[in-house]
Each structure stands twice: as C-alpha cells, then as structure tokens.
Amino acid sequence: MMFETWWLLALPLVFGLGWMAARLDVRQLISEQGALPRSYFKGLNFLLNEQPDQAIDAFIEVARLDPETTELHFALGALFRRRGETERAIRVHQNLATRPDLPEPEREHALYELGQDFLRAGLLDRAEESLRRLMSGPYAASAKRVLLELYEVEKEWQKAIEAARELQALEKTDYRLQIAQFCCELAQDSLQRKRPEDAVKWLHQAMQENPANVRAPILLGDVAAAAGDARAALGHWLAIERQDASFLPLVAERVVKSYAGLGEQGAALDWLRGLLKGSLAPELLDVAFKTELDQNGPEAATRLMREQLRRQPTLLALTKYFEAQAADMASAATVAGTGETSVDADEPAGSDKAKETTAIRDLLQLRTRNLARYTCRECGFRARLFYWQCPGCNRWETYAPRRSEALG
C-alpha cells in the first residue's frame, strides 16, 4: 500500500516537470526564429515554390546581413557552381578561406570547395594549388580524388599514377585498372615521340598492374608492326583470343594487314572464316567481307555472305550479301564488254535486276550505317568509335568491345 501511495504522489511531479521543459523548448524555438532574418524564410519559401533564382537572392541578403552564417555560404557556393556561375562560387569560397576567424576544419572545407570551383572554371593550376594544401586531414582523400580527375584532364599521366597510388593506400581501394590505363597512355605518348623502347617499358608495367588489360598487348603489336616485325605483331594480337576474344574485332584489320605483309593472305581468310562461325560474326562481317572481296572477288564474297546468312541471319549480313551481288553484277557487265563499270548502267540484259539489287543495297546501307553503337555501361554514352575512356563520364574500360544494338 505504501508503494502505490508513493507513485500517486510522484505522478503530478513528473507531469509538471514535462510541462516546464516543453515551455522552455517552445520559448527557445521562438527566440531562434526571431533571431533569423526575414530573408531566410523568404528564401526557404522560394525554394519550396521552385523559384531558385529568387531563393539565391534572398540567401545572399542573409549572408550579407550575417557574415557568421558559414553553412549558408557553403550552400550558396555549391549552388553557384552547379549553375555554372563559377566566378561567384569562387568569390564565396575565397572569402571563407581567407577569414581569420574561421575554424580550421571549415577553412579546409572552403579550400576543397575552392579547388572544385577552379577545376570547373578550367583554372587547373589554381585548382591544384588549392587541393595540394589538403594532403592531410579529413579532406585528404576527397582532395586527391579531385586531383586525380584534374591530372586526367591535363593528361599528366605520371602524376595521375602517383595520385592513384596514394588513393589506393589511403582508401584501400583498387586503382590498378586505372593505373594500367595511365601506363598505356604514356606508351602512346612515347610512340608518338618515336620512342618505342619507352613505350614497351610502359606497356609491360601496365600488364603487371592489371594482367587483364587488353589494351597493352594491342599496343605491343602496334610497336612490333611499326618496327617491321609482322610476325611478332601477329603473336601479340592473336594472343588476345586467349585473354578475351571479344576484343578481337578491334585488331581484325591489323591482323589481315600483317598476314598480307607476310604473303599469307589465305591464313587471314581462314582466321576470319573461323571466327564468323562464332558469336563475334556481327563485329567481323565487314572485315571478312572486304578481305574476301579483295582476294577472291565478288562471287566468292557473295558465297561467303550467303553462308553467313544461313548460319546467323542478320541485317548486316544481308547488306553485305547485296553489296557483293551488286559488285558481282558490275564485274560481269564489264567482262561482257558493255563498257560500263556500274550496275546503274543501261544494260541490254538484266538491267532491271541490277537496278533492283542496287536499290536494295542502298536501302540496307542507309539502314545499317548508324544502327550499331558502342555504349558506356556507366552513363549510357553512345559512340561509333571504341573508347578506352568514356567521353561522357570519363570512366575507364566501360565500353564493351561489342556494339550494343543487335544487327538484325
């Protein structure tokens, strides 16, 4: 009975303390709201009504009236940068970075934002200078990531390798794929400067960094071909089939040219015909068709495309079939002594069929010319050419060597 009486006496006291705490919280909230300028609430209202220009003007007024609102300054700077107003973003962040009363963490934040402003504005030297002041502390990893992006834009590949290694140690993240690509970029620079020995050195380093890198053996084949060693070049390119066969279409024309240089055109055709029986056929049809046409004439090219249509019917194979037929008819007309080398000539016999074949060929060529595209897996950027670094999102090795749209 004593226990129940105690609780009955304690309950009013607990409720009373709760009521007093609530009143204190309400008074504090009213006091804080009263201390905020009206422009702050106007800015919020503009944001809620999706009027960003008016909201920015209102927040600028708040920042002018109360320079201590550093978070608002940071928000304004980020807004300016996203809108492309880099000069205004730079002014906001420079004012913060030079304030003598600003705490060190916020000064580092301002320097980091300033570095991004300079990078967006194309002031790469000033961006590097700002970010280099943040090589230790809470913004070190973020600053090094931006520096890595900067070095890629500047094509400072050795600095990019150093930055990637530092990030790899700092974040425990694997950057070997990027480092291998940077080595390949250095190899290409060496080739352009006629320094094949340096190129080979960088390419071997690329393969050490990332054994799965296919670009390095492709470039090693280019080095050998430039030196006149077609056999060694073929060795590098044909070895790609064991590494990742899907990249073979990227070197198919090189392989055919090297076989021709060795006088082994038949070996090139045998290699291409074997690949046409597999999944790479759509990517290799153009090279196989041209090689067959050049070596054995339009009749053989027509037979090859007819076989391919039976094996894997695609729109591209059909296009090449009619191209071969048109070329065959043009050749037959010339042999027959008509004096014409085009199937559009007014032939006394077979002219209607020739014109029909030409019309179908032209229609199919128009249809397939812009059909297939390489597509970035990260951002969806589509391109007719293959890129090791996507022009859209700047990621490395995001393009598959196979074009993304099926032909047929």
Q: Token pair of 318, please?
A: 């059909």
Instruction: List binding-site positions for Fe cation.
Output: 376, 379, 390, 393
In this structure, are residues 387 and 395 in contact, taking their beta carbons and an 8 Å threshold? no
Q: Token pair of 162, please?
A: 């150093």
Residues in the chain: 408
DSSP string covering 58-72:
HHHHHHHH-TT-HHH
DSSP 172: -
Instruction: List binding-site positions.
Output: 376, 379, 390, 393
In this structure, are residues 177 and 397 in contact, taking their beta carbons and an 8 Å threshold? yes
Among 324, 262, 263, smallest CA distance to 288 is for 324
- What's the CA gap between 227 and 391, in Å, rounded? 31
- What's the CA gap between 326 and 310, in Å, rounded? 20
State CA 231 to chain mean position distance: 34
Among 279, 345, 348, 355, smallest CA distance to 322 is for 355
396, β-bridge pairs = 389
Among 159, 164, 126, smallest CA distance to 145 is for 164
Contacts of 302 (CB under 8 A, 6+ apart): 321, 324, 325, 328
- What's the CA gap between 32 and 274, in Å, rounded? 78
